[in-house]
C-alpha cells in the first residue's frame, strides 16, 4: 500500500506539472477540494476532473515556469477496501515559479489526498502562502 500511495502522490504532482491526462486516471468522477491558502477560491466549486484540468492550466498561465515537486517523507495510511486502496496519503511539496522581474518564488505546502476505490476523492491543501517559507532548503 505504501508504494501505491507514493505513486499516487507522484501522479498527483505530475498532473499539477501539466500532465492533464492523469486527471481522468487518478481523480474520482466527483471529488472535493479543500484549499486553505488565500487566492484558491477557484477550487471551491471544482468537482470533476475536467474542471481541475482547467484550473491547473490557469495557474500555469498566471505563473510562468510553475513546477511542483514532492518533498520529505510521505505519510501513507491506506488499506484494501473492496479490493482497492482506501485511506489517506499526505506529503509535503514545493511549488516554484518565476515572477515578471525574473525572481524565483518558492513555497512549501502539504497536500493530503483522500483515497477511495484507488482514486482521489478529496484533497486538503495548505501552503505557506504569499509570505510563506520553505520546509526544506
In the prediction, which pLDDT does 56 show? 94
- The answer as to whether 136 is a domain residue is no
Rounded Cα gap, residues 49 and 19, in angstroms = 12
In degrees, rounded to 5, the angle at the alpha carbon of residue 78 between the alpha carbons of residues 77 and 80 is 155
In a domain, 40, yes or no: yes
Under the phi-then-psi rule, with left for phi > 0, alpha for psi from -120 to 50, and beta for the rest, what region is 60? alpha
Q: Are the CB atoms for 58 and 31 separated by under 8 Å?
A: no
Q: Residue 37 belongs to what domain range? A: 2-127
Q: Which residues pair with 112 in a beta bridge?
A: 90, 124
**CATH number of the domain that 53 lies in?**
3.10.450.50
pTM: 0.92
Number of domains in the chain: 1
Classify residue 70: in a domain, yes or no: yes
Smallest Cα–Cα separation from 113: which of 86, 82, 95, 83?
86
| Poorest-pLDDT segment among 14-23, 38-47, 77-86, 127-136 | 127-136
What is the grid cell recorded at 107? 513555497
Amino acid at each position: 500500500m505504501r508504494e501505491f500511495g507514493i505513486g499516487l502522490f507522484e501522479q498527483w504532482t505530475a498532473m499539477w506539472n501539466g500532465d492533464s491526462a492523469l486527471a481522468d486516471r487518478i481523480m474520482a468522477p466527483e471529488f472535493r477540494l479543500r484549499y486553505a491558502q488565500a487566492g484558491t477560491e477557484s477550487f471551491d466549486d471544482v468537482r470533476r476532473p475536467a474542471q481541475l484540468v482547467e484550473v491547473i492550466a490557469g495557474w500555469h498561465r498566471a505563473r510562468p515556469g510553475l513546477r511542483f515537486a514532492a518533498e520529505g517523507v510521505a505519510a501513507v495510511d491506506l488499506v484494501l477496501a473492496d479490493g482497492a486502496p482506501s485511506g489517506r496519503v499526505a506529503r509535503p511539496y514545493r511549488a516554484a515559479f518565476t515572477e515578471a522581474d525574473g525572481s524565483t518564488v518558492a513555497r512549501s505546502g502539504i497536500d493530503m489526498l483522500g483515497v477511495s476505490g484507488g482514486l482521489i476523492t478529496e484533497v486538503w491543501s495548505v501552503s505557506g502562502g504569499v509570505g510563506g517559507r520553505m520546509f526544506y532548503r
